[in-house]
Amino acid sequence: MDTNHDKEKLAVLTLGALGVVYGDIGTSPLYTMKEIFGAAGVPLDMAHIIGAVSVIVWGLLTIVTLKYVLLILRANNRGEGGILALTALAAQAAGKTPGRRVALLLTGVAGAALFYGDSVITPAISVLSAVEGLEVVTPALKPYVLPVSATVLVGLFMVQRFGTGLVGRLFGPIIMLWFAVLAFTGLLEIVREPAILAALNPLHALAFLRAQGWHVFVAVGAIVLAFTGAEALYADMGHFGKRPVQLAWIGYVLPALAINYMGQGALLMRDPSAVDNPFYRMFPTAWLVPAVVLATLATIIASQAVISGAYSVTKQAIQLGLLPRMRVLYTSAKEVGQIYMPEVNWLLLVAVLLAVVGFGSSSALASAYGIAVTLTMLITTVLTFFVIRHGWGYPLPLALAATGAFLLLDAALVVSCAIKFLEGGWFPLVAGIAIFAVMATWRRGRELLIENIRQGDPELLPFITTMAAESVHRVPRTAVYAVANPDTVPQALMHNLKHNQVLHERNLILTVVFHDVPWIADEERVQVTPLVPGFWKVQVNYGFMNTPDIPQALERCQAQGLAINLFETSYFLSREIVVPTRGAGMARWREALFSLMSRNAGNVADFFRLPNNCVIELGTRVQI
């Protein structure tokens, strides 16, 4: 009975992984072969077609299967994947070596920043490449490609606020049908031109790469489009688990992709004129409109996965102290991972529409696509080395053997894509550098802010000891003072004493700590430390995947001898007004940027789920 239940659960998770994880890489056949033999200028003859398809097939086996499915999925942070989860794991593995730890953190933050560039380009190129099928139906529809693509994208971003739960249940079956169609159409072409099966021989791949000379970097810069989306295997592992992700890839996705790429190669061998759009030219005329509709649905799903990923990465970055607070709306009562972030959503939409209008076609966007993805792949490999060597404790030769070949391969892919820098590759890099600057500025600004508060405010314990000894008027209820530094007197407490000349009967000095692990167990959620009569220090612990909820956490204080009546509790918050100054600290422009972000940071009460009618917020000016 349990075995049947486990099998049923595994089947459901595998179907879910199929829909969410593989939408991006599953839509790559829409444009990859067109770019290889079009923009990249690879000769359209039998030897080059077989060679290029062989590189794709063996790249899928090497980069995706060996590197991601078999190696990197093992490097999970308590079941969670993604660049920030891997960064936290690598930083932990660095141990007490501060220089190495900082370097790994900066490397991981750079990878996270590049992810946002991918989040802009993936929806743009995926939807554009699908809608461009209208041109194959009839050239008269070409003027409508951009307006239709923009309409689809606006609709996609507008429905985000309703959550992905309902749409998510449709993802798996639609993508399952999509891969079945990929395999079926590819198989029909292979039967017509079985000579393409020679691509299964890796010697053809090696011969192709060797024969290209220096042009190999241009060719590989187009071929890499077949591997974009591989990062999603790792990033979305926490939603489904390692085994469903692996089963979906090996048992269904990999065969379908390999068959379709070979089918497109077979079509080009038989009919070189199909190079203008080999994917859609595999369909009979009567099937073209349904094919465009199915492809558009598949690209919407691929885009949805990246958009949801942007929300998740942003939430993790906020809780790791890399970005200011933003509004997080939970769209499901059951699934904490289903969130919606309005600010992120609308900024992404504007960026995606600018990319669609600015580049104008999937071919132009293809030049911008690869560099962010390959750099992220390279960063992932570097971080994985430190996890294998220092986290798992494997000998140096074995750690180098496990990652060295992938490191060289990733470096070659980065160089191949870097050639397209002036043709559009600058776009994700500029976006990544800008986001990296924002993250680094916010983190450094918070450090300077806390240092300033620590220097300017009196020490907590001597101060409250004096207060407890004096006959300060006490009022009923519990006061919770939320602070970043628990060792100094909260500004809100100082204001309360100065202006109201009262103390509450019960005072909690509350600190919220986000740890660099995904989850903190409920039994480790709070730590209560009695200080002097009427004062307690409370530390609430969260992982970067946990959802902060302070009232719920305070209920757990009772188990440690501190019973709190939440209906008689007031929350005092200090809002710092940052004043940039000349001198040490950061450059003036970074201080101005930090001040701007600090003023526009999301509401603390909303972020920590505090009841609005119990919050008192007091402002204080702080110079950095």
284-309 pLDDT, tens digit each: 988 999 999 999 888 888 887 788 77
DSSP H or E run through 620: strand 615-623
Query: For the residues 596-610, what does the mean pLDDT come to?
Result: 86
Considering only CA atoms, which of 342, 304, 370, 57 is closest in space to residue 164? Answer: 304
User: What pLDDT is attached to residue 198?
Assistant: 96
How far from 120 is each of 7, 87, 341, 356, CA to CA, in Å?
A: 37, 22, 16, 10
pTM over 0.95? The answer is no
Position 1 scores a pLDDT of 43
Q: Between 399 and 338, where is the model more confident?
A: 399
Residue 146 scores a pLDDT above 50: yes
Is the predicted pLDDT of residue 217 greater than 60, yes or no?
yes
Domain 2-444 CATH class label: mainly alpha
* Per-residue tokens: 442: 């916010």
Mean pLDDT of 207-224: 90
Which residues contact residue 164 at a Cβ distance below 8 angstroms, ignoring those fewer than 6 apart?
304, 308, 331, 338
pLDDT more than 90, % of the chain: 34
Using one digit for the tens of pLDDT, what is the confidence trace for 37-59?
987 788 999 999 999 999 999 99
Report the alpha-carbon angle 329-23-132, nearest 5: 105
d(CA 598, CA 595): 5
- 68, 57, 409: which is closest to 226 by C-alpha? 57
Q: Considering only CA atoms, which of 252, 357, 349, 253 is closest in space to residue 310?
A: 349
Domain ranges of the chain: 2-444, 457-623
User: Residues 281, 274: contact at Cβ < 8 Å?
Assistant: yes
User: What digits encode the pLDDT tens for the residues 104-139?
Assistant: 888 888 888 888 888 888 889 888 988 988 888 888
Q: Which residue has the tokens 């220096």?
A: 214
Average pLDDT over residues 229-240: 75
**Whole-Å CA distances, 559 to 141, 357, 522, 531, 572:** 68, 58, 12, 18, 24
Q: Which of 74-88, 162-176, 178-192, 499-513 is the least confident region?
A: 162-176
Question: What letter represents residue 392's amino acid?
Answer: W
